[in-house]
Amino acid sequence: MPPLTGVVEMYGTEIIHAARIACDEINQRGGLLGRPTELIVEDDGSLPQTAVPAARRLVKDHRCVAIIGNLLSSSRIAVADQVAKPEGIPYLNFSFYEGSIFSRYFFHFAALPNQQIDKMIPYMAKHYGLKMFFAGNNYEWPRGSIDAAKRCLHKLDGDVVGEEYLPIGASLDEINALLELVARSGADVFVPYFAGMDQIRLLTRFTEMGLKKHMAVVMGHFDEVLASQLSAQVREGFYSSNTYFMSLDTQENQTYFQKLAAVPGIDGIWPNGNGMLTNFGEATYLCVKAFAKAVEQAGSTDSEALVDALETISVSGPQGIIKMDASTHHAWVNTYLSRCNANGSFSIVESFNLNPPSIPERYRRQSVDFHISSPPRHSKIKAQELATSTLTKLNAAQQILSIADMAILATDENGIITEANVNACKLFGYSGAEILGMSVHLLLPPHFRQRHAELVTQFIKSDETQLNMSGRGELTGYRKDGSFFPLEASVGKVRLDESWMLVVTLCDISTRKQAEEELLWRATHDSLTGLPNRALIRERLTNALQRTRRHGANVGLLFIDLDDFKSINDTYGHEMGDLLLKTIAARLIELIRPGDTLARLAGDEFVVLCEQIEQPTSLSLIAERINAELRQCIELNGHSLYVTTSIGIAAGHGSTHSTDDLLRYADTAMYEVKQKGRDGWHFFNDSLEQKVRQRLSVTQGLRLAIERNELSPRFQPIVTADSGRIIGAELLLRWFPEEGEISPAIFIPIAELTGAIIDLGLWVFRQACRSEFAWRQRWQRLAPAYISVNVSARQLNEESLADDFAKILQETCADPRRILLEITETSLMADIETNLRVLRRLADLGMGVAVDDFGTGYSSLAQLTRLPVNVLKIDRAFVNGIDTQPENRAVNRAIVGLARALGLKLVAEGVENVEQLLELRALGCDYIQGYLFHRPLEEQSFIDRFSSELDIEQSVAAAEPPLFFLIYVSKATQCFTDIQLNTLLEKTRTDNNARGITGCLLYMDGCFMQILEGSRRTVLGLVEKIKRDPRHRDFQLVMQAAQQRRIFPDWSMGFRDLTRLNNEPDFTQWRKRSIDFFELAEDARTCYTYITAFKHENF
């Protein structure tokens, strides 16, 4: 089904050539099953309403045994739902897409976002910048692809500076309006997702407007066919990422060109002729070859046999070898990033080789065995008969349906549409005959369908009779042509005989949403110039400063004020003044660098935000260029106007400057220019002078701080993650000179720089040793397990450090095993060989070593394994947001896994809320430090708090019954055979019998659930061993408590393998979802009830 008409018809001929060449190759080898392979071509028309009938003709009229298509995603989704699945026919796809289709019969032989978008976005961010503007047509492929691109950019700490959608076949006015937004966005990279002719018109206007010099462009849809439709000036320099380009140097590619050159009507190979092959044609070639290989493997053209064969198919084509992933029905493909040359050829910039498919997060809920499609025709007829009989009984309701001025649908309790009024048909673009019998869920975009079905099911089961669906979040409609639109919907249910009928009222709120978006735009943009306003530039500046903390380079700000602009307003009027402001804004856009953001604050004030500033001179060059250009005469409405500007410049970094700081500094510097005569620029330097004065004052004060007894230790308790019991403390330094406390964030960096940290560090270490000895004398074996002390990079460079520490340990009688030295990851990796020698000497003294702020530096696994490290401390940057940001959760999971693999303990810093604690506890973090439990305390306060905790523990222990139980769940690190499970069980029973422990062990689908009973100390001791057991991972405590008597009195360990039950019935049609042990463990009471129910079993 190539598109021979419509918005992407330009690809039709190329796709047909590829399919015929593949068929010819097959038939030259004798065909398939002794018969020649026949290729039937039907035009898909570039739209769902023409693609679905084309697919039905191929299946019904031509009796094809497989179908190949479609280029546009909206057509592909419709064909998969309405033809391939209902008819049970293999459907092979040749076009890259968003990843929204999951069906036994669907096989994808092109790129997914992770194979295409996840490669190009990081490259463009690295080489051009982290601010990107996304735009596309209003259907699933652009929206799904842009969603994936935004997620990728977010992981890079980038900024989405714009996101817009236009209808297919967008007008020139719509394209121009979009590009005006792009021009004023300050984007480093423009990422357009438009189809066919829309992409051509957009790129042409983009170039005509002079935007190529302001930002880079990268696309997932740009190839030789599109390039051939553009002039050399337009196409040169655009980036594209895909599975195939004609410039690939493979033998299969050259062989294909030889065959293409022999096709009638081909006068040469592009760029020297009209013979072309794009990723669409190349994937079509692969689809035909894959079909042929599947027929050969299956020995049949039976649909089910072909599907089974296609799941493991591997074929070779011009891009290289590709192979199908059986679990997703999406292929491993080769991907490349290229850059278009003036002659229309593409130079390969990066080769990403063979990449596995990964379903985007947007669609993952859909991919778990959940498929909604239109029912077979006999079901539709049955639904229509039911609707007729029902509405005959409810004649009044039918009349209301027909005359109501809003869209109304009626469905059965399975969501099958039984009635729709004219307005509903118009709203979604279907005829009355088409919409009857459809699943109502198909009227929503693919990534919403499963959630919608779940909500409808919940509503049917609930006591509610009416539900406002929009109250659960914005609702999006999905038209027959694949376009999106915003909806409001309400649903009610009526009991008819033994089943429910649902009545849905719908309202298109596009006009309202457009008005809301217009209000939002006005709130963030200057209406006169279209530039970002003060609110938006503050947000952009804040984001830019945050990025500097990760990427290093400074941010620059140019504050531009027009000199004596008021006189122009007074002389020529406000209309002329407004016209002058618009003209100056347009000139400024041309003068700033690609990726710089221009904003209008108010009146005659503009701001330029510059990122990636390595040298301040780059800012002065921009300012000089602006001054020089704006001195030139401006001709407006027959008047010659002269304007000069005063420019204040400020530069800063997120670690030292805030948004308000930079705006204030640049403003202050601008007024300095005004005072000096205007028409110039000036750097703000007062902050630097103030910093020098502060450094001098702090340096002098630190020299006397110890003598004046101005230093004071603070102890922040560190607690166990599972119980919150204090296990240790970190000693933190505070300084209280006469003029008032000075923050460690100020004096510690200065102490590092001046060398004062050496004496301070020894003072801190001595305080820690004194406290360790005193606490051990006070509490004996119940004393905190350790005190941690920070050691700086400057201290590590001191040759006498180990000797000094040894002397202090001896003088204070401190136990070195209870002293933990915290060293930042960055400090450790600065000079790994020197630090390794120092740390080994310190470790030889008996002290432990912790890597502080882990994850913020650049340590390698090889280097980490060489260091005598006992503890990793997860930096607060990764703890913050762990409960809301998937990437932070993934980083923490990786750190926990690394620590477990290396046998290290983990401390999480900066834990401030229960949600963070629960996430860290679930991941298996050992210890917690943060304000959720304790702030830094004076020593006496720490002593009081720890003593109080001990008193409570001892009183609880005295009152506790003699027995104790604990339930946990964990995952097996390997799949256990029956023999291995029996061996494990025998050893467990023997060991537990010796310990006096009873209980029950359950195993299901690679997970354990176990209850242990015995003395508190014995049970907790065993649990610690289980946590360290390499056969377990993701240990999670469900509950623990005292008990009066044993639930499992036998001196052994009950066991059940629940993975396979004897005489197990078929649960397929009854199972709504699967619940594993970890989900069950979220409810301790249910978990307890579940496992203790096995006490009557014969194990």
Q: Architecture of domain 377-514 in CATH? A: 2-Layer Sandwich (3.30)
Task: Give one DSSP letter per residue of 234-291, joined into a string.
Answer: HHTT-EEEES--TT---HHHHHHHHHHHTSTT--SBTTSSSB---HHHHHHHHHHHHH
pLDDT of residue 379: 45
Q: Which helix (H) or strand (E) element contains residue 568?
A: helix 565-572
pLDDT exceeds 90 at position 826: no
The least confident of 139-148, 400-409, 808-817 is: 400-409
pLDDT exceeds 90 at position 616: no
Domain with CATH 3.20.20.450 in the chain: 693-950
pLDDT exceeds 80 at position 368: no
The least confident of 279-283, 425-429, 454-458, 1095-1099 is: 1095-1099
Task: Give one DSSP letter per residue of 774-841, joined into a string.
Answer: HHHHHHGGGS-SEEEEE--HHHHT-TTHHHHHHHHHHHHT--GGGEEEEEEHHHHHHTHHHHHHHHHH
Mean pLDDT estimate for the chain: 88
What would the mean pLDDT of 454-471 be, rounded to a whole number? 80
Whether the CB-CB separation of 170 and 195 falls below 8 Å is answered with: no
Residue located via tokens 């999951």? 102
First to last CA, the chain: 60
pLDDT of residue 181: 93
pLDDT of residue 691: 55
CB atoms within 10 A of CB 962: 11
The torsion angles phi and psi of 122, rounded to 5 degrees, stand at -60, -35
- pLDDT for 751-772, tens place per residue? 887 788 999 999 999 999 999 9
User: CA of 798: how far to CAs of 722, 757, 761, 839, 850, in Å?
Assistant: 39, 11, 11, 12, 19
Q: Does the bond joining 532 to the residue before it have cis omega, within 30 degrees of 0?
A: no
Domain 693-950 sits in CATH at 3.20.20.450
Whether the CB-CB separation of 113 and 98 falls below 8 Å is answered with: yes
Domain with CATH 3.30.70.100 in the chain: 960-1096
Which residues, listed in sequence order, are joined to residue 507 by a DSSP beta bridge?
A: 488
pLDDT of residue 460: 87
Q: Among candidates 1042, 1050, 961, which has minimal Cα distance to 1001?
A: 1050
d(CA 131, CA 543): 10
Domain with CATH 3.30.450.20 in the chain: 377-514
Task: Give one DSSP letter per residue of 135-203, joined into a string.
Answer: EEESBHHHHHHHHHHHHHHHHTT-EEEEEEEE-TT--HHHHHHHHHHHHTTT-SEEEEE--HHHHHHHH
pLDDT of residue 380: 44
The single-letter code of the amino acid at 655 is S
CB atoms within 10 A of CB 900: 18
Q: Architecture of domain 532-682 in CATH? A: 2-Layer Sandwich (3.30)
The least confident of 58-72, 178-192, 257-271, 905-919 is: 905-919
d(CA 62, CA 39): 10
Q: Is the dihedral of CA 346, 348, 349, 350 positive or negative?
A: positive
- DSSP letter for 356, please: -
| Whole-number percent of the chain with pLDDT over 70 | 92
- Of 694 and 859, more confident: 694
Q: Domain 960-1096 class?
A: alpha beta
- pLDDT for 856-893, tens place per residue? 655 556 677 778 889 999 888 888 878 778 888 888 88
**Residue 884, Cβ density class (10 Å: 0-12 exposed, 13-18 middle, ≥19 buried):** exposed
pLDDT band per the 50, 70, 90 thresholds, residue 396: very low
pLDDT exceeds 50 at position 383: no
pTM, to two decimals: 0.59
Which residues, listed in sequence order, are joined to residue 713 by a DSSP beta bridge?
A: 733
What would the mean pLDDT of 66-77 be, rounded to a whole number? 91
d(CA 230, CA 223): 11
pLDDT exceeds 80 at position 954: no
pLDDT band per the 50, 70, 90 thresholds, residue 894: confident
pLDDT band per the 50, 70, 90 thresholds, residue 991: confident
Whether the CB-CB separation of 166 and 174 falls below 8 Å is answered with: yes
pLDDT exceeds 90 at position 647: yes
What would the mean pLDDT of 84-99 be, rounded to a whole number? 94
pLDDT of residue 989: 77
pLDDT exceeds 70 at position 388: no
The least confident of 436-445, 834-843, 888-897 is: 888-897
* Rounded to 5°, angle at Cα 544 from 542 and 549: 100
Burial 698-737 (b: 16+ CB within 10 A, else e): bbebbeebeeeebbebbbbbbbebbeeebbbbbbbbbbeb
Domain with CATH 3.30.70.270 in the chain: 532-682
d(CA 947, CA 595): 59
What would the mean pLDDT of 517-525 be, rounded to a whole number? 89
What would the mean pLDDT of 309-337 be, rounded to a whole number? 96
d(CA 491, CA 475): 13
Q: Among candidates 193, 149, 54, 143, which has minimal Cα distance to 448?
A: 143
